[in-house]
Structure 1
Amino acid sequence: MPGKKKRETKVKKQHQARTKWVKEWLLKRQDLTHTNLLEELRLEPDDWRNYLRMDEDSYVMLLKLVTPLIEKQDTILRPAISPHERLTATLRYLGTGRNYEDLKFSTIISPQSLGKIIPETCSAIFQVLRNDYMKFPSTEDEWLQIASDFEKRCNFVNCVGAVDGKHVNIIPPAGSGSYFYNYKGTHSLILMAVVNANLEFIMCDFGINGRISDGGVIEYSSFYKKLENGQLRLPPPTKPRNSNTSLPFVFIADEAFTLRSDFLKPFSRQDLNNEKKIFNYRLSRARCKVENAFGILSNRFRIFHTKISVNLEAIDKIVMATCILNNFFFLQRKY
């Protein structure tokens, strides 16, 4: 009738009924899984290392540590996926950057299960390794050791860390618009890190959207807030060898960051004299440590060569797991 509003009707979404509970080939995991290949690769250590990005001894150690957190009980319906299968699937995902749909054919685990297993295992890896393999310095002696390493390796005195940010490319969530869009023309989240002279991450902060510059991102980190408030327990200024001037202990970064007495960056390229050129060279030589650390991280874990297409919470767990695994490999000195 004219003038009468049409009644809105809600159409319920019809879910297609399952034709089978599970695909037949997924039931043959014990026969088809890639863990059977690992038994053969034990005879070829180089191939094992290439496959899981670590040697067998390091893998066994890591598996022992994470098993209590990722082990599941069998049910009357089906046996649980073992910690060994969960960890190898996660390491293959991190090492290759393959998506869940592709990874299911070698792991013989459904994409739906991989979507739960991989973030859970990454979280467990970070939890069991963080206290021993990413310990932020809390005493003057620990800062002095970092400064000593920088002086020996880079000829830069009183440096306690090289700082930089890395864009981690992602598939943005639906409806996010340009929120994650960065100046490089991609969508990203930023990994902010402090690295020592041994290419080890001593602090990682991840999750700020890529629209913000590195200099802006660091201001959101707890590390920078403690630096501003003088809560990092840095040693008092000391006199370097062959010098009568006391110099403070500092972090170093590139031009994108704010200059502070405890946070140095290069001189502007305009009007450089000889002394400023030497300073820039020395600072660049030390700052390369963080660039090298990011390069090693990306080449070891090819997930950084892709656009990560999982939810934001899972991305955070994945990235933090790779950072602490990077330290784990360095300190094991076996890869």
Structure 2
Amino acid sequence: MVDKLTPHLQKQSTYFREPLHVGLKLAVTLRFLATGNSYQSQQYSFRAEASTICKFIPEVCKAVIAVYKTNIVLTAVADASYKFPSVDIGAEGGASDGGTWSNCSLHDTVEDNRAGVPQPEPLPNDGQPVPYHFVGDDAFALRTWMMKPFSHRSQILRERIYSYRLSRARRVMENAFEILCQRFRCFFTTMQQNPDTINLITMCNRGK
């Protein structure tokens, strides 16, 4: 990672001082992302001033995004490999899942068939092509490409089976977030940074 990030982070030496090594900046940033500890606690471990740390952590996050980025849009979508091909950064905390989804750019690209969703493929041991779908909960509006469980209580047997199996598919999303938080424990804490820095931290973590 240091070799890939050096062109983006390396500072020039001056007459007054030598710049911090890229490896040190990366180590401090990864430690912060993994623990969520304050900048003040980091300065004693790495011998770098907290005022300096707060400046270069956003820079490192930007560099990581630039080097390792894929497709960043709005709202979180997880695939079967627990990866986030699309994420929502910066939506209002009080907004509902369905409202956030309806207002995000990914929703519009899916509606217009511009999202790059794979073509229908047969299921194992079957020759009938089946289209790919997004799986959501009851907060999302039903579409031809969006599957959601039945919401009424008096479900017949086949409806209960469908809702149960769909819920198992939705667990992938829940597990993906759990894996993300367990790996980068800064998401278990209340982040004290400004919103722009939090957006950078979130985008930096999403693909790792």
- Greater Rg by CA: 1
SS at match of 1:204: coil
Aligned to 2:80: 197
Unmatched runs of 5 consecutive residues or more in structure 1: 1-61, 137-190, 326-335
Please give the alpha-carbon distance, in whole angstroms, between the structure 1 residues aligned to 2:16 and 2:127.
Answer: 76
Q: 1:129 aligns with which of 45, 53, 68?
A: 68
- Is 1:99 equivalent to 2:38 in the alignment? yes
- Is 1:68 equivalent to 2:7 in the alignment? yes
Higher relative contact order (CA 8 A, sep 6+): 2
Please give the alpha-carbon distance, in whole angstroms, between the structure 2 residues aligned to 1:269 and 1:74.
Answer: 67
- Is 1:84 equivalent to 2:27 in the alignment? no
Please give the alpha-carbon distance, in whole angstroms, between the structure 2 residues aligned to 1:209 and 1:261.
Answer: 27
Please give the alpha-carbon distance, in whole angstroms, between the structure 1 residues aligned to 2:121 and 2:48.
Answer: 58
The structural deviation recorded for 1:246 is: 6.3
The structural deviation recorded for 1:285 is: 1.2
Aligned to 1:112: 51
Please give the alpha-carbon distance, in whole angstroms, between the structure 1 residues aligned to 2:143 and 2:31.
Answer: 42
Structure 1 residues 225 and 74: alpha-carbon distance in aligned structure 2, compared to 1, 3 A threshold? same
Equivalent residue letter for 1:123: K
Aligned to 2:175: 292
Aligned to 2:187: 304
Structure 1 residues 75 and 111: alpha-carbon distance in aligned structure 2, compared to 1, 3 A threshold? same
Aligned to 1:268: 151
Give the structure with the larger strand fraction. 1
Q: Deviations over 1:91-116 (max 9, x none)?
A: 01001101112211112111111111
Please give the alpha-carbon distance, in whole angstroms, between the structure 1 residues aligned to 2:103 and 2:125.
Answer: 38
Please give the alpha-carbon distance, in whole angstroms, between the structure 2 residues aligned to 1:311 and 1:243.
Answer: 52
Equivalent residue letter for 1:69: H
- Is 1:249 equivalent to 2:188 in the alignment? no
Please give the alpha-carbon distance, in whole angstroms, between the structure 2 residues aligned to 1:316 and 1:324.
Answer: 14
TM superposition outliers: structure 1 runs of 4+ over 2 Å: 232-249
CA contact (8 A) 1:104 1:111 kept: yes
CA contact (8 A) 1:252 1:263 kept: yes
SS at match of 2:87: strand
Mapping of 1:177-216 within 5 angstroms?
192-216=75-99
Structure 1 residues 275 and 93: alpha-carbon distance in aligned structure 2, compared to 1, 3 A threshold? same
| Number of corresponding residues | 207
Q: Deviations over 1:101-139 (max 9, x none)?
A: 221111211111111110100110111011xxx358xxx
SS at match of 2:131: coil
Structure 1 residues 238 and 300: alpha-carbon distance in aligned structure 2, compared to 1, 3 A threshold? closer
CA contact (8 A) 1:195 1:201 kept: yes
Unmatched runs of 5 consecutive residues or more in structure 2: none
CA contact (8 A) 1:248 1:261 kept: no
Please give the alpha-carbon distance, in whole angstroms, between the structure 2 residues aligned to 1:123 and 1:269.
Answer: 46
Structure 1 residues 236 and 129: alpha-carbon distance in aligned structure 2, compared to 1, 3 A threshold? closer
Please give the alpha-carbon distance, in whole angstroms, between the structure 2 residues aligned to 1:271 and 1:245.
Answer: 31
The structural deviation recorded for 1:248 is: 3.4
Please give the alpha-carbon distance, in whole angstroms, between the structure 2 residues aligned to 1:290 and 1:276.
Answer: 22
Please give the alpha-carbon distance, in whole angstroms, between the structure 1 residues aligned to 2:21 and 2:120.
Answer: 53
Structure 1 residues 65 and 246: alpha-carbon distance in aligned structure 2, compared to 1, 3 A threshold? closer
Which moved further from structure 2: 301-310 or 264-273?
Answer: 264-273
TM-score (norm 2): 0.91
The structural deviation recorded for 1:85 is: 0.5
Q: 1:282 aligns with which of 153, 165, 179?
A: 165
Equivalent residue letter for 2:106: F
Q: Deviations over 1:186-223 (max 9, x none)?
A: xxxxx831111111111112111101011111122221
Structure 1 residues 267 and 123: alpha-carbon distance in aligned structure 2, compared to 1, 3 A threshold? same
Root-mean-square deviation (Å): 2.1
